[in-house]
Amino acid sequence: MINKLTLEVVRISVLTFLSDLAYSRSDSFLMESYAVECDVTWSTIQNPTSGLPLSTISPLCLAPQNSAECIGVKCNSSTSNCELLKRPPNTFVNCIKSPVRLEKQMSLNAQVVKRQPELAFLDLENGEIESLSVSGIPPISISPIHGTPLQVQLGMGILHCTENATDCHYWSSDSNTWSIFPSFNKVHLFGAMAVLRGKPIVIGGHPTPEKQNHGIVEIFDKVSQQWILGPTLEPARHAIGLVVLNETSLLVVGGYNRSMMVEVQMLNIENDQWTRMDDLPEATYGSVCGLINVAKVICIGGRDPVGPSKLAYGLDMSLSEPKWIREPSFDFEDSAVYGFFYSLRDQLFSMTLAQTISWNKVKILRRMNMTKPNPVWEDIKVYPSTSLSWSAAYFVDGYQFQF
């Protein structure tokens, strides 16, 4: 029998980037209970072996006629049927650990295993978590719920709050069910939500159809299990760009309050204070914002006084006096309003929810490979208008196997 080592999965925080942790071993690594899906098409080495139990098929991987190509075994834990796996055409195989229990398990003869975060996105109306950074993986099915911009990953679960009411729900990865979460004090229609130091925070919006904007900030207190009021954002607004800078700070960019806004403010939850930053070059709302290289904020698109935009601007927070500058290398090919933008290792990912403010409905997933000499955005997938719903990023535990 092959010696097997059960991998204990370490949850990787969104806010703390951990360097890859490598294990140099020649053992077989067995993924128990949880599914590990990979971005290669697995095929059997010998058709007659497919469907045999693990105890029978595992030693076949060490047989002389198979050892050159065989890298492991994939099994269905419900039926105990297994198949041998061939060596993929490339050296590395990237995998993710599903947040919900599935029926497959995999044993791989890997010499090096690296733990690393992988990026996915939430499509809650369709009940799916879809991979971004690892290709070829079917969406993970979860219990569906109506779409909202007020949704964030909280631990390995999901916090979802209704934007035209105060009610919230939490999805547990253990049970794959939604449960009631404490309600807001105020309605945050077209507000924004993030997580700082494990605490959900919601900012701004308006509470009524008349769109009387407010700058109310609510922070969830784990001890009292209630939303408590934080420092008010002034001037009040909705449709802001929101960027998490680190575990204690975030940046609010632009927004709308009877007109488009140029104001940019930074919130620090350690001292509960807002700090005014450099104004945007153009008044903008609904821009797609994110962080690259640890300290540089990039905001793309949104609606400015001219109309829907595709232009990118950068704010280097590592400078003593950060100033917005044009960043044409990050411009989108088409205008975009609303969405999110994340950097993961040497790639950038963007999901935009609308192409124009007149609601020419388009949802586009883009990627930029920063290792290329002249990186550009490439469209990975364009979704039909029936799939137009709010999306949010979701980080999963990942592995990279070397054979």
pLDDT tens digit string along 16-39? Answer: 222 232 333 334 555 443 345 565
Q: Above 60 in pLDDT, residue 85?
A: yes
- Closest of 88, 99, 90, 107 to residue 141, by C-alpha: 99
CA dihedral of 211, 215, 220, 226, whole degrees rounded to 10: -70
Q: Is the pTM of this model over 0.85?
A: no
Residues 119-160: pLDDT tens digits?
999 999 989 998 888 876 778 889 999 989 999 999 989 999
- The predicted pLDDT at position 51 comes to 54
CA distance 200 to 175: 21
CA distance 181 to 171: 9
Please classify residue 385 by burial: count the beta carbons closer than 10 Å to its beta carbon, then call 0-12 exposed, 13-18 middle and 19+ buried: exposed
Angle at alpha carbon of residue 297, lines to 294 and 301, rounded to 5°: 145
Winning range, highest mean pLDDT, from 6-15, 98-107, 176-185, 330-339: 176-185
Q: Above 90 in pLDDT, residue 231?
A: yes
Q: Above 50 in pLDDT, residue 309?
A: yes
Residues 342-387: pLDDT tens digits?
999 899 999 998 765 555 668 899 999 999 999 999 998 888 766 6
Average pLDDT estimate for 181-194: 96
Q: Above 70 in pLDDT, residue 392?
A: yes
CA distance 238 to 259: 11
Question: Please, which residues have CB within 8 angstroms of residue 10's CB and are 6 or more apart in sequence?
Answer: 21, 115, 397
- The predicted pLDDT at position 381 comes to 86
How many CA within 13 A on the CB side of residue 188? 29
